[in-house]
Structures are given as structure tokens and as C-alpha cells.
Chains A and B, each alone.
Chain A
Amino acid sequence: MYEFYVSRPKVRGFTLIELLVVISILGVLVALLLPAVQAAREAARRMQCVNNLKQLGLAMQMYEGSQKRLPPGYVSHSRFSPAPADRDPTSWDASPGWGWGAHLLDYIEASNLSNALDRAEPFWATKHTSLIRTSIPTFICPSSSGALEPFVIADEAGSPLALGSSQIEVARSHYVANHGQESCWGDCGGSASQVVFADIYSQAKQTITHDRDVSLIADGPFYRNSKTRLQEVTDGLSNTIFLGEHSSFLSEKTWVGVAPGAFTHPLFSSPENGPDTAATLVLVHAGPSGGEEDVNGLPIIHPLNFPTYHVGQMFSEHPGGGNVGLGDGSTRFVTNDVDLIIWAEYSSIAEEEPSREL
């Protein structure tokens, strides 16, 4: 008898176990790879962020080269007599308000925009409405997870500031200029004198009669109507912070300027942060301010990323720290655990400190 066998090709699929093993291996590989990919992406973003800071530092140098002084923190005809109609009674901020960023436009390849601005007029004048909404890539740090689109300048209550006929919408900046340790911020107009630290080492205090001239209070390179010359930075350009980061995840900053009566609001809350006065739209300070001491009598210094999250401090979303631009045009990555006194030293232009590494 002859038996006829038809040989069927053996079709064998994957078993469930095999599939699960393969999926598990893939899962492990992805889990291993993902942090590396994220780190590489953040490294690229950070590089771009540093590059912008370098560009702004170079622009500062070029501005100083042509004007023989650094750009003003912001311009305000506060002390004109008679008083400008738009002068804020508390801060004494007034028109035209243009900030340090607006003064650098010619040096960061934004000459067309610069030429279109009338700096004798307030930036909130109707003729500037569309111009001040222009987003400039040099002022945007890709590591910032906050909003990128223009924002409406707010008053103390958080409502749109009423200046002129309509609300003021401005483009963002993720970079801020350094006002120093001492500031009078919103109290500049409220009182003609202020208690400040004579120096950060002894914590000795002194009363300064400034009569609303911020130059007599501020010890950093940029403040209202500042005209700092490089020779005045006696601590040395490589020992002084000019610029730093401030992510829009914490609060809204602009390259445009400071509107009288405006307030900057934190976008998340800590027990200590809250709205701060208009100057913080373009400037930050390191504290201690106004001779402030903490509950145990120590000076309050808030370096970059300090977890009080004031809108008037530097804030970066890079893991572990953030970048600052020094007066010599170089940049430095500063870690979150930076020595507080060294930070305060680098914030002033003339603390006469020994040169220590930031």
C-alpha cells in the first residue's frame, strides 16, 4: 500500500511569550534611550539660549562702543519739571519707557524695526502698537516652557493696564538685565530716602537720600535712566553680571520697556512671591534690597532659581542652574547652589570684592 503524504509547509508564528519578551526588550531600550534623547535636545536648546545671551552681550559692547555708555535699563522722564502727566505716583516711572532691549535692536540685526520706532514717544503710543508685538528670536530662549506669544501688560490687580486708548501688548524676552543688589523698585517715588546695606559683608546699614534718582540706590549696571560707563564697573567686567535668564514659565518679561503703573505677576505661587513693580518687566535684582533681613537677621539674597521664585530674580529651566552674561561678553553657567555672597558680589559693579569664581 502506498501512502501519499502531502507535506505542508510548516507555518510558525511568534508565541505570546516571545512577543512579550521582544516588547519588554524594546521597552527597556526606549527607557534607556529616552533620557539621552531628552538630554541631547535640552543641550541643543541650552546652546541656542547661551548663543542668544552672547549676542546680547556683544550688542551691549557695540552699543557702548558707539554711545560711550551702556544702554539704560529703561528710559523714564520721571524727574522732568513739570511732572509728566503719565508719571506713576508710587514708582515715579513715566514715559517713554523704552527698555535696554529696545536700545540694542540696531546691534542684533533688527535695524528695520529699530528705525521704525520713535523713541521720543511712549512705546504704548498707537503708532507702535504692531511694532512692539514683534517677536525677536534673539530674545527667546528655547528652553523656556512658558508662552512665546505677546502678552498684555497688567496693572497691580492683574487687569490690562489702562494707558492711552487700548491695552498694551508686547513681545517677550527671556532675558533680563541686572539691577544689582539694592533697588527701590516701586518705592522709588513714595519716599525720597531709603535704608540700604552699606556692604554685604558687615551688614551695616545706611540711609540714602535719593530724591527719586535711582542711580543713588542701584548698585548694578542697569536701572531707570542708567548711563553706566564701563570704567564705572570697577569690580571688573568679567566679575559683573550684566544679563541673565528669566523664563516665561515664572513671569512675563519684554524687550520693549517699562510702562508706568504696570506690575509683573508670578505665574505660579510660592509663600513669598507676588506682583512686583513695573521695572521687573525688564530688570531683576539679586537682593538684599532696602536692608531687608530674614527672620534670623541675615541679608536676603536671591540668586538665580532661588525657590522663593520672585518675579524680580533670574530664573532658568535648564537642569541644575542657568546662564548669565558677564560684562566682558562671556557667559557662565551658574549652578542652583551658587554661593550667595559671591552671587551678590557679581551683581554689583563696585562691591570691591576679591575676585572669586562664580
Chain B
Amino acid sequence: MPKPKQRAARRLLIVLLVLPGCGAYDKVGLLAYEQVKSLYTVCNQKNAEQLERAAEKIAEAHEVGKLSSQEVEWLEAIIADARSGQWKVAATKCRRLMEAQVEH
């Protein structure tokens, strides 16, 4: 039955695709996860107004210590891409950051 082989091949493919040069996101806290999920919606809809609101909320959360510096760095990189009009790149980063939280 080819299924386990197929699954192993698929996992290997994912690892090969994700590892090189992808910035290797790590685990984030629940608030960062919620923010990146929201940022995905913002980027998908190319909503500049909501982007700034999200940026403010992220900055506020960082100030009171609810987001770590690493989390804020990743989120701000996404926001920077979106601000420069690279909505699709930003959305792809959101997806990758969310994918990095999955445990098989």
C-alpha cells in the first residue's frame, strides 16, 4: 500500500520546500497567532486602514509585554511588506508563520 510512502514523500517535500531561505519561523504565543491570523485577513483584503489598526494593537501589546520581541519582529516584517504594497508576499508570510505552529 503506497500511502505511508506517499505521506513520507509529501512530508519530505514540505521540509525541502520550507527549509531553504524561508526565515524559519518558530513557535509563537496565542496572541501572536491571533494577530497573524488577523493580518492574513487584512492582507488578503488589501485593507490599509485595518493594517494600521493591527499595527497599533501589536505595538500596544508589545509595550505591555504581551508579545515578545521576536514575535513583534516577525509581525512587523509582515506589516512592512503590506505597507509597501506587497500584499501577497505579506499574506504568504502570514500563512508560513501559521504553518510553523502546526504539530504533526
C-alpha spacing A77/B41, complex, angstroms: 39
* Minimal Cβ-Cβ distance residue in A for B35: A295
Binds B, one of A89-97, A183-191, A232-240, A336-344: A336-344
- Do A340 and B41 touch across chains, with their CB atoms under 8 A apart? yes
* Minimal Cβ-Cβ distance residue in A for B37: A294
Chain B CB within 8 A of A271 CB: yes
Give the contacts of B1-58 with A (CB-CB under 8 A).
3, 6-7, 9-10, 30-31, 33-35, 37-38, 41-42, 44-45, 50, 53-54, 57
- Do A298 and B104 touch across chains, with their CB atoms under 8 A apart? no
Taking the closest CB of chain A, its distance from the CB of B49, in whole angstroms, is 11
- Do A271 and B33 touch across chains, with their CB atoms under 8 A apart? yes
- Do B44 and A337 touch across chains, with their CB atoms under 8 A apart? yes
* Minimal Cβ-Cβ distance residue in B for A305: B95
How many A residues face the partner with a CB closer than 8 A? 27
Q: Given known contacts A148-B3, A296-B53, A337-B88, is B101 in contact with A270 (CB within 8 Å)? A: yes
C-alpha spacing A270/B34, complex, angstroms: 12
- Do A270 and B102 touch across chains, with their CB atoms under 8 A apart? yes
Q: Given known contacts A145-B3, A145-B10, A271-B33, is B57 in contact with A295 (CB within 8 Å)? A: yes
Give the contacts of A295-320 with B (CB-CB under 8 A).
295-296, 298-301, 307-309, 317
Contact bitstring A254-289, B, C-beta under 8 A = 1, else 0: 000000000000001111100000000000000000
The dominant DSSP class at the A interface is loop
- Do B44 and A268 touch across chains, with their CB atoms under 8 A apart? no
* Minimal Cβ-Cβ distance residue in A for B41: A298
Chain B CB within 8 A of A147 CB: yes
* Minimal Cβ-Cβ distance residue in B for A270: B102
Contact partners of A308 in chain B: CB under 8 A: 37, 98
Q: Given known contacts A307-B102, A337-B91, A340-B45, is B34 in contact with A294 (CB within 8 Å)? A: yes
Taking the closest CB of chain A, its distance from the CB of B14, in whole angstroms, is 10
The interface centre, meaning the residue of A148, A268, A308 with most chain B CB atoms within 10 A of its CB, is A308
Give the contacts of A163-221 with B (CB-CB under 8 A).
none
Q: Given known contacts A270-B101, A296-B57, A308-B98, is B31 in contact with A301 (CB within 8 Å)? A: no
- Do B34 and A295 touch across chains, with their CB atoms under 8 A apart? yes
Interface size class of B (residues with CB under 8 A): 20 to 34
C-alpha spacing A299/B41, complex, angstroms: 9
Contact partners of A340 in chain B: CB under 8 A: 41, 44-45
- Do B7 and A145 touch across chains, with their CB atoms under 8 A apart? yes
* CB contact between A296 and one of B3, B33, B54 (< 8 Å): that residue: B54
- Do B50 and A296 touch across chains, with their CB atoms under 8 A apart? yes
Q: Given known contacts A145-B7, A270-B102, A341-B45, is B95 in contact with A294 (CB within 8 Å)? A: no
Contact partners of A301 in chain B: CB under 8 A: 41
Contact partners of A339 in chain B: CB under 8 A: 44-45
* Minimal Cβ-Cβ distance residue in A for B1: A148
Contact partners of B45 in chain A: CB under 8 A: 339-341
C-alpha spacing A300/B40, complex, angstroms: 11
Q: Given known contacts A272-B33, A307-B95, A341-B45, is B102 in contact with A295 (CB within 8 Å)? A: no
Taking the closest CB of chain B, its distance from the CB of A312, in whole angstroms, is 16
Contact partners of B9 in chain A: CB under 8 A: 38
Contact partners of A317 in chain B: CB under 8 A: 10
Give the contacts of B56-104 with A (CB-CB under 8 A).
57, 88, 91-92, 95, 98-99, 101-104
* Minimal Cβ-Cβ distance residue in B for A343: B44
Contact partners of A271 in chain B: CB under 8 A: 30, 33, 101
Taking the closest CB of chain A, its distance from the CB of B18, in whole angstroms, is 13
Contact partners of A145 in chain B: CB under 8 A: 3, 6-7, 10
List, sorted by A's number, 9 A–B pairs whose CB atoms are closer than 8 Å: A148-B3, A249-B7, A271-B101, A272-B37, A295-B38, A296-B50, A308-B37, A340-B41, A341-B45
The residues of A with any CB-CB pair to B shorter than 8 Å are 38, 145-148, 249, 268-272, 294-296, 298-301, 307-309, 317, 336-337, 339-341
Given A38-B9, A339-B44: 19 more A-B contacts, CB < 8 Å:
A145-B7, A249-B7, A270-B101, A271-B33, A272-B33, A294-B34, A294-B37, A294-B41, A295-B37, A295-B57, A296-B38, A296-B50, A296-B53, A296-B57, A307-B95, A308-B98, A309-B102, A337-B44, A337-B91
